[in-house]
């Protein structure tokens, strides 16, 4: 039976309430099991040897001395991980990133790994592995990598997407283009044009829990992996492909997750741990240190972006154009393309053109980070929009409202919008008390908009009703932000039972069908859809059971308010049967009651937000403090409002850190200088004000409750909102993120002279 996902406007009992999350107590008492908390009998400790060079040919690796160290059970290099990728370039990039093959492509690139009976033997062995490197010229800066004389990282990369195809290899892997209309004609109609270049530095997701796993390859060809991940089904597929295992024979169990934000959607250490276990014949535990996390996992792109926007004197944008250059680490990817798609998404533009260049550099392979690529594009676009509003003499909110996209607008990346929330978030910003609050001395106010696509994807859930009428729901999307609470609310809503009678668990890969990972803000959107469908399937079963219990035809039974009821005057006097009543009789009416669902959740509604912030700048030191911050975002329907607010605040907090202080700093030698939280400065609690939130609910027509994903959009506006606020505070346009104190002071000094 196919599932009708269309929005039905109904009144809710459970959805929209704020009960405590089921995983909360274990997390605050330290009982929750994270990636490093799994253990196996006889387990070995793994350590990884990493390249100290930004770019080097590996001429040879001698492991003989290390193998002789007492307690060492296995050493693997690329030779132990044969290339089974069969021409799949994306998969090959994952393999090469897990263990360098011919060349080390960045400082921190894995070149060998050891499994030993304890930490000290593993450490001793690492020191005895001899790698013969031929150091090669390197490049880490995005603009430098595009220069004609830059060292070419990979001579099989010929820029795609350009005509005619280039005859020489370069570091530009791909060119993409989006837009419509005629920008030249549009600029010709403009009274005022703003044109500016921007840069953003590379940031890390900064999850508190480092990557950790236990891998166990068994003698019978099966294998187990316990791991901290955002997507255990995807990890299973990647690991199986790279190691030549059958997917069904590799059972992957996800742990609790101490943050991922996109950084745990990619495998790094897991295939290596499996390869070590296979070679040693024993389980292997691999935990990355914080330094390894920074040097070898995670980061987002560093970017260089040019924006040009023109408008008429009365505030209508006539054309908008952007060129976006994004680093992707050493392997081609599509990060600039995402930036090019999102840059101007909030606006209704007649003429728009964006071009994205994917640039390979000697930095770690870029991973998704919460609305990947959109924050940098929004920083550039929204800075220019703000500057243009100022030049025209219009209020920045009014200027945006005058050009805002609405239902029926053709988006800058192609599709025509359905009902969307950008206009309402701007109206809410205009009306918000924050917008009219007085500013103190040395303070500036900024605002900015942000967009993210959201994603749906493959989802599979099982709902089981116990004999006592309580319910377990098994889902395959890892809970990164309270989804077990939200999904329990959905079950309670559909079945008409109490939230406390529902237990939600994350099933492993052997007990449930495939699920895409928790990314693209899809967790609650897609899994709630499958959960509603599974609950409705279970209700169907319960109707059948009620028919047996009452011995009346199925058509005479309907479901209402958590009960089977008999329709019509003939049966009208029967007391309705509750879930508990029906469950108690299940053994006599056909066995256990369950509802199953598998679907592809289409129609994830796009998501928009508007942020407002006030910043105070100390003009003598360049130091800045966020003094007030407000997030306004469309949630479609907030299933659990407290956890929606948590997503809004979390994204804003990460964006604030990125905007003000977070950056990868490389030395001239191409080595990362700040692989730790001391010098990679994420905000601490006292750096942030309470972040205010306002939830708007513009229903997504493609979800029964109107839900849209909310996890990512909140990180899109902060870079721009903060840059606009700082620019207003100091009276200078700031165009290089992060706006660290030395950068602000240097700009102030430059303006003086």
- Closest distance between other proteins and the C-beta of residue 626, in Å? 11
If one asks whether residue 679 binds other proteins (CB under 8 A), the answer comes out as yes
Closer by beta carbon to other proteins, 82 or else 676: 676
**Pairing between β-strand 557-560 and β-strand 563-566 as defined by DSSP bridges:** antiparallel
Closer by beta carbon to other proteins, 316 or else 625: 625
Closer by beta carbon to other proteins, 95 or else 660: 660
Look at the alpha carbons of 518, 522, 524, 527 in this order and tell me if their dihedral is positive or negative: negative
Closer by beta carbon to other proteins, 302 or else 378: 302
Closer by beta carbon to other proteins, 8 or else 673: 673
- Closest distance between other proteins and the C-beta of residue 736, in Å? 14
Closer by beta carbon to other proteins, 107 or else 508: 107
Site string for other proteins, 97-126 (x = CB under 8 A): --------------------------x--x
If one asks whether residue 681 binds other proteins (CB under 8 A), the answer comes out as yes
Among 28, 678, 690, 750, binds other proteins (CB under 8 A): 678
8 A C-beta contact, residue 114 and residue 75: yes
Among 622, 650, 655, 709, binds other proteins (CB under 8 A): 622
The span from the CA of 647 to the CA of 636, in Å, is: 14
**Could you say which residues in the range 626-665 bind other proteins, by CB under 8 A?**
660-661, 665
- Closest distance between other proteins and the C-beta of residue 38, in Å? 22
Closer by beta carbon to other proteins, 126 or else 307: 126
**Could you say which residues in the range 724-753 bind other proteins, by CB under 8 A?**
740-742, 745-746, 749
Among 64, 673, 731, 751, binds other proteins (CB under 8 A): 673
Closest CA to 112 of 345, 276, 280, 236: 276
If one asks whether residue 143 binds other proteins (CB under 8 A), the answer comes out as no
Choose the binding region for other proteins from 328-336, 363-371, 480-488, 684-692 (rule: CB under 8 A).
684-692
The span from the CA of 518 to the CA of 233, in Å, is: 10
If one asks whether residue 51 binds other proteins (CB under 8 A), the answer comes out as no
Cβ-count burial 269-303 (b if 16+ within 10 Å, e if not): bbbbbbbbbbbbebbbbbbbeeebbbbbbbbbbbb
Choose the binding region for other proteins from 133-141, 169-177, 488-496, 674-682 (rule: CB under 8 A).
674-682
Q: Which two tokens stand for residue 69?
A: 């160290």
- Closest distance between other proteins and the C-beta of residue 606, in Å? 35
Closer by beta carbon to other proteins, 276 or else 744: 744
Q: What is the DSSP letter of 365?
A: P
- Closest distance between other proteins and the C-beta of residue 682, in Å? 9
The span from the CA of 496 to the CA of 580, in Å, is: 11
The span from the CA of 57 to the CA of 38, in Å, is: 37
- Closest distance between other proteins and the C-beta of residue 625, in Å? 8
The span from the CA of 36 to the CA of 213, in Å, is: 6
Q: Which two tokens stand for residue 236?
A: 């299973």
Distances (CA, A) of 351 to 125, 379, 458: 61, 20, 36
Closer by beta carbon to other proteins, 455 or else 677: 677
CB-count exposure of residue 415 (10 Å: 0-12, 13-18, 19+): exposed
- Closest distance between other proteins and the C-beta of residue 674, in Å? 5
Closer by beta carbon to other proteins, 238 or else 661: 661
Among 306, 674, 689, 701, binds other proteins (CB under 8 A): 674
- Closest distance between other proteins and the C-beta of residue 286, in Å? 16
8 A C-beta contact, residue 116 and residue 122: yes
How many other CB atoms are found less than 10 A from the CB of residue 56?
25
The span from the CA of 102 to the CA of 132, in Å, is: 12
If one asks whether residue 623 binds other proteins (CB under 8 A), the answer comes out as yes
Closer by beta carbon to other proteins, 615 or else 745: 745
- Closest distance between other proteins and the C-beta of residue 294, in Å? 12
Q: What is the DSSP letter of 84?
A: -
- Closest distance between other proteins and the C-beta of residue 686, in Å? 4
- Closest distance between other proteins and the C-beta of residue 671, in Å? 11
- Closest distance between other proteins and the C-beta of residue 745, in Å? 6
**Could you say which residues in the range 549-588 bind other proteins, by CB under 8 A?**
none
Q: Which two tokens stand for residue 358?
A: 């994917």
- Residue 89 three-state SS: helix
The span from the CA of 636 to the CA of 16, in Å, is: 12
Return the H-helix or E-strand segment holding 23: none
- Residue 545 three-state SS: helix
**Could you say which residues in the range 154-173 bind other proteins, by CB under 8 A?**
none
By CB under 8 A, how many residues form the interface with other proteins?
26
8 A C-beta contact, residue 576 and residue 563: yes
If one asks whether residue 511 binds other proteins (CB under 8 A), the answer comes out as no
- Closest distance between other proteins and the C-beta of residue 115, in Å? 17
Q: What is the DSSP letter of 573?
A: T
Distance of CA 155 to the CA centre of its chain: 31
Closer by beta carbon to other proteins, 36 or else 240: 36
**Residue 511: φ, ψ to 5°:** -110, 0
Closest CA to 592 of 463, 503, 502: 463
- Closest distance between other proteins and the C-beta of residue 289, in Å? 8
Q: Which two tokens stand for residue 308?
A: 């040009």
Share of the chain residues as helix, strand and coil, in percent rounded to the nearest 5: 30, 25, 45
Among 687, 689, 732, 736, binds other proteins (CB under 8 A): 687
- Closest distance between other proteins and the C-beta of residue 49, in Å? 11
Choose the binding region for other proteins from 1-9, 258-266, 570-578, 672-680 (rule: CB under 8 A).
672-680
Helices (H), 168-289: 183-188, 232-243, 270-280
How many other CB atoms are found less than 10 A from the CB of residue 134?
11
CA end-to-end distance (rounded Å), the chain: 73
Choose the binding region for other proteins from 10-18, 272-280, 676-684, 712-720 (rule: CB under 8 A).
676-684
Choose the binding region for other proteins from 13-21, 59-67, 212-220, 673-681 (rule: CB under 8 A).
673-681
Closer by beta carbon to other proteins, 293 or else 359: 293
Among 620, 690, 752, 753, binds other proteins (CB under 8 A): 620
The span from the CA of 301 to the CA of 67, in Å, is: 38
Closest CA to 114 of 239, 270, 227, 272: 272
- In the beta sheet, which residues pair with residue 461? 475, 597
- Closest distance between other proteins and the C-beta of residue 749, in Å? 8
Residues of this chain that interact with other proteins (CB under 8 A) are 123, 126-127, 620-623, 625, 660-661, 665, 673-674, 678-679, 681, 683-684, 686-687, 740-742, 745-746, 749
């Amino acid at each position: 039976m196919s599932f009708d996902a269309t929005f039905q406007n109904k009144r809710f009992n459970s959805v929209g309430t704020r009960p405590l999350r089921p995983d909360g107590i274990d997390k605050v008492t330290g009982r929750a099991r994270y990636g490093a908390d799994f253990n196996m009998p006889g387990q070995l400790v793994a350590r990884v040897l990493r390249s100290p060079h930004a770019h080097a040919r590996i001429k040879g690796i001698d492991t003989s001395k290390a193998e002789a160290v007492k307690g060492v059970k296995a050493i693997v290099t690329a030779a132990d991980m044969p290339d089974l990728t069969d021409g799949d370039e994306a998969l090959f990039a994952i393999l090469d990133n897990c263990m360098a093959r011919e060349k080390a492509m960045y400082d921190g690139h894995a070149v060998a790994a050891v499994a030993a009976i304890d930490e000290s033997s593993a450490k001793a062995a690492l020191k005895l592995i001899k790698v013969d490197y031929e150091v090669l010229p390197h490049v880490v800066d995005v603009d430098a990598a595009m220069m004609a004389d830059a060292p070419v990282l990979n001579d099989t990369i010929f820029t795609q997407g350009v005509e005619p195809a280039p005859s020489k290899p370069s570091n530009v892997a791909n060119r993409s283009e989006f837009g419509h209309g005629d920008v030249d004609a549009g600029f010709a109609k403009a009274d005022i044009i703003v044109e500016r270049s921007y840069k953003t530095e590379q940031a890390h997701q900064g999850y508190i829990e480092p990557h950790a796993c236990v891998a166990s390859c068994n003698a019978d060809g099966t294998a187990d992996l316990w791991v901290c991940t955002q997507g255990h089904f995807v990890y299973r597929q990647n690991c199986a492909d790279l190691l030549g295992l059958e997917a069904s024979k590799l059972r992957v169990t996800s742990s609790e997750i101490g943050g991922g934000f996109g950084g745990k959607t990619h495998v790094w250490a897991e295939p290596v741990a499996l390869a070590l276990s296979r070679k040693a014949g024993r389980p292997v535990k691999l935990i990355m240190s914080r330094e390894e996390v920074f040097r070898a996992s995670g980061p987002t792109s560093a970017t260089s972006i040019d924006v040009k926007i023109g408008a008429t004197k009365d505030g209508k944008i006539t054309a908008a154009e952007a060129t976006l250059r994004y680093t992707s680490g050493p392997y081609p990817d599509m990060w600039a393309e995402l930036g090019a798609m999102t840059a101007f998404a909030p606006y209704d533009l007649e003429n728009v053109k964006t071009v994205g260049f994917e640039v390979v550099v000697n930095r770690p392979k870029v991973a998704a980070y919460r609305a990947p690529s959109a924050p940098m594009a929004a920083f550039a676009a929204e800075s220019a929009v703000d500057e243009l509003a100022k030049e025209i003499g219009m209020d920045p909110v009014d200027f945006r409202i005058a050009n805002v996209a609405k239902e029926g607008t053709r988006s800058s990346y192609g599709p025509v919008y359905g009902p969307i929330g950008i206009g309402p978030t701007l109206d809410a910003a205009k009306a918000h008390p924050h917008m009219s609050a007085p500013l103190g001395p040395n303070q500036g106010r900024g605002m900015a908009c942000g967009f993210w696509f959201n994603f749906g994807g493959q989802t599979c859930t099982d709902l089981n009703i116990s004999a006592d009428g309580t319910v377990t729901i098994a889902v395959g999307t890892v809970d990164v932000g309270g989804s077990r609470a939200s999904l329990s609310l959905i079950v309670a809503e559909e079945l008409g039972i109490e939230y406390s009678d529902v237990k939600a668990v994350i099933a492993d890969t052997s007990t449930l069908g495939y699920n895409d990972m928790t990314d693209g803000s899809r967790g609650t959107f897609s899994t709630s859809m499958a959960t509603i469908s599974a609950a409705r399937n279970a209700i169907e079963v319960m109707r059948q059971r009620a028919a047996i219990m009452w011995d009346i035809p199925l058509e005479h039974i309907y479901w209402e308010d958590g009960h089977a009821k008999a329709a019509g005057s003939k049966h009208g006097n029967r007391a309705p049967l509750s879930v508990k009543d029906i469950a108690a009789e299940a053994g006599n009416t056909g066995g256990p009651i369950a509802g199953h669902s598998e679907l592809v959740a289409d129609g994830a509604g796009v998501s928009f937000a508007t942020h407002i912030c006030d910043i105070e700048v100390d003009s003598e030191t360049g130091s800045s403090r966020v003094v007030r911050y407000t997030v306004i975002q469309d949630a479609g329907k907030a299933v659990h409002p407290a956890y929606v607010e948590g997503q809004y605040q979390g994204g804003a907090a990460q964006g604030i850190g990125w905007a003000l202080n977070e950056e990868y700093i490389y030395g001239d030698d191409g080595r990362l200088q700040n692989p730790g939280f001391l010098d990679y400065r994420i905000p601490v609690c006292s750096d942030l004000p309470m972040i205010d939130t306002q939830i708007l609910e513009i229903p997504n027509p493609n979800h029964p409750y109107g839900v849209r994903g909310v996890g990512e959009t909140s990180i899109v506006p902060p870079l721009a909102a903060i840059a606009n606020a700082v620019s207003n505070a100091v009276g200078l346009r700031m165009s290089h993120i992060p706006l660290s104190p030395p950068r602000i002071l240097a700009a102030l000094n430059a303006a003086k002279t």
